[in-house]
Amino acid sequence: MMQKVFSKPQALKDCPTHYCPGCGHGIAHRLIAETIDELGIRGRTIGIAPVGCAVLAYDYFDVDMVEVAHGRAPAVATGMKRTNPDKIIFSYQGDGDLAAIGTGEIIHAAHRGEQITVIFINNAVFGMTGGQMAPTTILNQVTTTTPLGRDASKQGYPLQVSELLTLLPGTIYIERCSLHKPALIRNAKKAIKHAFELQLNNAPGLSLVELLSPCPTYWRMTPVKAIEWMENEMTKVFPLGRLKG
């Protein structure tokens, strides 16, 4: 029996990763790169990477990339798309970026119906700066700033970004996927591809794909336990599925 060989997508550079063992960013990168290759848009794609674990995305994606200030990716993506309407523009943002300092940027870009694609990595924690509580941290979750677990009476509730953006008329497609099982990863690939296809077909509005992603380092779990935690806890707070479009 012949063994199937998986080749590296052209839209990914051949280089070592800096991500921690068990992190989902590498999976997300491959899904995006495969989509870019399959759609034949590598030469016209521009990626926007802000501060956070996503900040070194330009080291991995072999397409034009722009690094921007923390939270400002939707604003820069807006300018890129309006001045280069023939380009395919995507932002790649974590929850500490998009759902915290960048909340205003994503809300207003979505409300204006900017024709951009947003890939939103939700690992329920600030990963780059030491594991602090993020807006997406779930109740009772232990972080460096919630050592006793997130308490709704003190730190509020997890912010459900996808549900929030679904209410805005400027969004055309919102889906939440996860990277903790092979079948779910395949579904995430379909969602990412659909989001890019909408922009490629000049559909009016913003598309966002939220990807639940493990962070074993700052969840203080093994990669196996992190996957179990996603299945048993995280997906209850952030249910998977297409919310709009």
Read off the pLDDT of residues 57-75 as tens digits, 9 standing for 90 and up. Answer: 889 999 999 999 999 999 9
Report the mean per-residue pLDDT for the chain.
95
Say how far apart CA 34 and CA 23 lie, in whole Å: 19
Block residue for tokens 């969840």 = 219
Which residues are 195's β-sheet partners? none
Domains with residue ranges and CATH for the chain: 25-244 (3.40.50.970)
What is the model's pLDDT at position 54? 84
Question: What is the dihedral angle through the alpha carbons of 46, 79, 135, 157, rounded to the nearest 10 degrees?
Answer: -120
Say how far apart CA 209 and CA 64 lie, in whole Å: 21
* pLDDT mean over 124-136: 91
The values of phi and psi at residue 42, to 5°, are -60, -40
Block residue for tokens 């990807």 = 211
Say how far apart CA 79 and CA 114 lie, in whole Å: 10
- Reported residue count of the chain is 245
Say how far apart CA 26 and CA 23 lie, in whole Å: 7
Read off the pLDDT of residues 172-187 as tens digits, 9 standing for 90 and up. Answer: 999 999 999 999 999 9
146 CB contacts (<8 Å, ≥6 apart)?
A: 133, 137, 155
Number of C-alpha atoms within 13 angstroms, CB side, residue 157? 5
Beta strand 241-244 with 171-178 is: antiparallel
CB atoms within 10 A of CB 194: 17
182 CB contacts (<8 Å, ≥6 apart)?
A: none
Read off the pLDDT of residues 10-56 as tens digits, 9 standing for 90 and up. Answer: 999 999 999 999 999 999 999 999 999 999 999 999 999 999 888 88
Q: Give yes or no for a contact between 141 and 198, defined as CB atoms under 8 angstroms apart.
A: no
Which helix H or strand E contains 210, and what residues bound it?
strand 206-212
Say how far apart CA 68 and CA 77 lie, in whole Å: 10
By CB atoms closer than 10 A (0-12, 13-18, 19+), residue 225 is: middle
At residue 5 the predicted structure's pLDDT band, cuts being 50, 70 and 90, is low
What is the model's pLDDT at position 1? 55
At residue 3 the predicted structure's pLDDT band, cuts being 50, 70 and 90, is low
Which helix H or strand E contains 176, and what residues bound it?
strand 171-178
Read off the pLDDT of residues 187-234 as tens digits, 9 standing for 90 and up. Answer: 999 999 999 999 999 999 999 999 999 999 999 999 999 999 999 999
Q: Is 205 left (phi over 0), alpha (psi -120 to 50) or beta?
A: left
What is the model's pLDDT at position 183? 98
